[in-house]
Amino acid sequence: MNHQVRVRDIVNELECEVAAGAGWLDNQVSFGYSSDLLSDVMAGAGQGDVWVTVQIHQNIVAVASLTGVSAIIVAGGANPAHETVLKADEEGIPLLTTAKPSFEVSGMLYLMGIRGRVKK
């Protein structure tokens, strides 16, 4: 388990841009999850996770809302669609972007003390 990491800490450490959900940067992060397959995220991510993806379609917000993740990080320089940003703000889900590749983002999160959620 990590040591009280908040979304705000991830923004600062990874130098992410906040595309949406700026009012929820104090969300606690429990675990990390990395996948671009939405059905995999629905089956494996959970409440309080930070989710790393390169997906930009607004369906990522629906999946985040369903699973209860604390934030989405869109990696690899991908720019979320305008509808995705609007939906994330509406749902209160921090949507972060970075030019760093997914692999590097996951490694940096690990160094922050965030571990992967083990599937049941």
pTM attached to this predicted model: 0.95
d(CA 71, CA 80): 14
Does a structural domain hold residue 92? yes
Residue for token pair 């700026």: 22
| pLDDT tens readout for residues 8-64 | 999 999 999 999 999 999 999 999 999 999 999 999 999 999 999 999 999 999 999
Residue percentage of the chain with pLDDT more than 90: 93
Question: Residue 78 is part of a domain; what is its CATH number?
Answer: 3.40.1390.20
- In the chain, the number of structural domains is 1
d(CA 35, CA 15): 21
Query: Cα 87 from chain centroid?
Result: 15
Q: Which domain holds residue 70?
A: 5-111
